[in-house]
Chain A
């Protein structure tokens, strides 16, 4: 692994003012993320994991501390359109078909038509929704919608994929299926992924490293290396190593 990190988070704090009272959402978080790494930000509600993701994405400004991505500020990276973001809900535009939704960022970037079509065709195949390309979002299930959301995030060929609890609204079966799909896609594209979740099993199954955040105030309380071999398979969810890691992470919450 390369030694210069792709993303450097240094002493980042975030304080909200809520009705005259200061609320610390993040306190002094520092973290280095390597290129191509799959990192999870794990924690209960209120631990600031989404806040941290939004700071990296330049959708929020930290109160103090700095974030550097390839030596640049998050704002520069956002303007260069190097972030692909998948939100908690799919945020598909209802008036656009599946195909047109994936195409949206490419239209905004004024990429030429032929290239747009090539990319969208490849992505549709990747998420397995070629047959649904002319459907409207309202005609799809929640899991299918979120797959379209992922394809749209990948369409701009981002350096970094930011995912904010993308599967939290889905049922367990769909979620596990999409976890496997996501790993398959990640293997092909080899992006850096920052994945926010509140599911321990999900973070263990997906990640190279799990960053455990604790609430009140939100802070980084542990970073756990996940040394399960890749590619990860369904069967690994049953293995003792998997359970050991889940237990280890669960224990790191104790005393919070």
Chain B
């Protein structure tokens, strides 16, 4: 995949200008903020390096929870999609139930999971699992069932059985939708893990770090956690995108 240079340079340039204005207190003047209310980029970077061990420890904890929860949630969602495809009569109900789960707000879910699991990690994984199930179930179901016209006819002209249709046709053709779901889920998994830490009994993780630092008015520390969360979120997304590019290089979206 080759991008034009200007496609990369423009956003990069825009980002650099944004950071420079921030560093030169441009936003402070604009919004009438004191330096302690909004730390400048250089101060945030320095704070990250000064507290590298603590920040990276918290980061690892949150990412572990997010990824574990996402793996479980996506697996459940996919299983529901497969069930709904193979047994349309009653399997479709499972899809509806899972979509309903999606409507529960994280702020309600976190305290509930707090009561269910004794550890912070258990609570985190629980919240992320519930949050990521629906996107996978709905997308995978669509991928398994929105087949190209005549592709089922083709299979029946070969007298193919249900099993062959599933493994040779439905499964490969749902891959692009599965990756769409994974890309949605990795972002919501990080958000869900961080927000769940706000309500957790434990005193670790990026979410707790943000809440605790801001509460104690350690603004630079708070911003360090925010920055690390953002960077980790982007890196995880890029990793999934890279895997996607390798796995479905045949798909039109990967040209």
Note whether A and B form a binding pair: yes
A79 within 8 A of B: yes
Chain B residues with CB under 8 A of A109: 158
Q: Does B32 contact A (CB under 8 A)?
A: no
A94 with B250: CB separation less than 8 A? yes
Chain A nearest Cβ from B252, distance in angstroms? 5
Q: Choose from B157, B164, B168 the contact partner of A59 (Cβ within 8 Å).
A: B157
Q: Among the listed B149, B157, B255, which residue makes an inter-chain contact with A57, where contact means beta carbons less than 8 Å apart?
A: B157
In the complex, chain B residues whose CB is within 8 Å of the CB of A105: 158
Q: Smallest distance from the beta carbon of B182 to chain A beta carbons, Å? A: 17
Contacts A59-B156, A108-B168: A95 and B255 contacting too (C-beta < 8 A)? no
Given A83-B157, A108-B160, the answer on whether A93 and B150 have CB atoms closer than 8 Å is no
Distance in Å from the Cβ of B111 to the closest Cβ of chain A?
44
Chain A, residue nearest B147 (CB): A91
Flag whether A85 is at the interface (Cβ < 8 A): yes
What would 11 A/B residue contacts be, using CB atoms closer than 8 Å? A79-B159, A81-B158, A81-B159, A85-B154, A88-B150, A89-B149, A91-B153, A95-B175, A104-B168, A136-B249, A156-B158
Which of B149, B158, B248 has the largest count of A CB atoms less than 10 A from its CB?
Answer: B158
Interface size class of A (residues with CB under 8 A): 20 to 34
Residues from chain B with Cβ under 8 Å of A57 in the complex: 157
Q: How far is the CA of A156 from the CA of B159 in the complex (A)?
A: 12
- Digit string of A87-104 for contact with B (CB within 8 Å is 1, else 0)? 111010111100000001
Chain A residues with CB below 8 A from B172, complex form: 93, 95
Query: Using Cβ atoms and an 8 Å threshold, which residues of chain B touch A87?
Result: 149-150, 153-154
> Is there a chain B Cβ closer than 8 Å to A78's Cβ?
yes
Asked if A138 is at the interface of the complex by the 8 Å CB criterion, the answer is yes
Cβ proximity bits A105-123 to B, threshold 8 Å, 1 near / 0 not: 1001100000000000000
Q: Is B148's CB under 8 angstroms from A89's CB?
A: yes
Complexed CA–CA distance, A235 and B65 (Å): 72
Q: Is B54 an interface residue (CB 8 A)?
A: no
Determine whether B37 belongs to the interface, using a CB cutoff of 8 Å to chain A: no
The 3 closest A-B CB pairs, nearest first, are A87-B150, A136-B250, A95-B172
Q: What residues of chain B lie closer than 8 Å to A89, measured between beta carbons?
A: 148-150
In the complex, are the beta carbons of A138 and B250 less than 8 A apart?
yes
Chain B residues bordering chain A, tally (CB within 8 A): 23
B37 nearest CB across to chain A (Å):
52
Of the listed residues A95, A136, A137, the one surrounded by the most CB atoms of chain B closer than 10 A to its CB is A95
Q: State whether the Cβ of B185 lies closer than 8 Å to any Cβ in chain A.
A: no
CA distance A105 to B157 in the complex (A): 10
The 8 Å CB contact of A85, one of B157, B160, B168, B252, is: B157
**B169 close to A78 (CB less than 8 A):** no
Q: A87-B150, A136-B250, A138-B252 are in contact. Are A93 and B169 (CB under 8 A)?
A: yes
Is A78's CB under 8 angstroms from B150's CB?
no
Q: Taking the nearest CB of chain A, how far is it from the CB of B210, in angstroms?
A: 42
The answer to whether B204 has its CB under 8 Å from any CB of chain A is no
Contact check, A93 vs B151: say whether CB atoms are below 8 A apart. yes
Query: Which partner residue on chain B sits nearest A107 by CB separation?
Result: B168
Q: Which residue of the partner chain, among A79, A91, A136, contacts B154 with CB atoms under 8 Å?
A: A91
In the bound complex, residues from chain B placing their C-beta under 8 Å from that of A59 are: 153, 156-157
Residues of B within 8 Å of A88, CB to CB, are 149-150
Residue of A78, A94, A104 near B159 (CB, 8 A) is A78
**Binary CB contact string for chain B from 131 to 155 against chain A (1 if under 8 A, 0 otherwise):** 0000000000000000011110110
B123 within 8 A of A: no
B251 within 8 A of A: yes
Closest to B248 in A: A95
Out of B158, B173, B248, B255, name the residue touching A108 (CB < 8 Å): B158
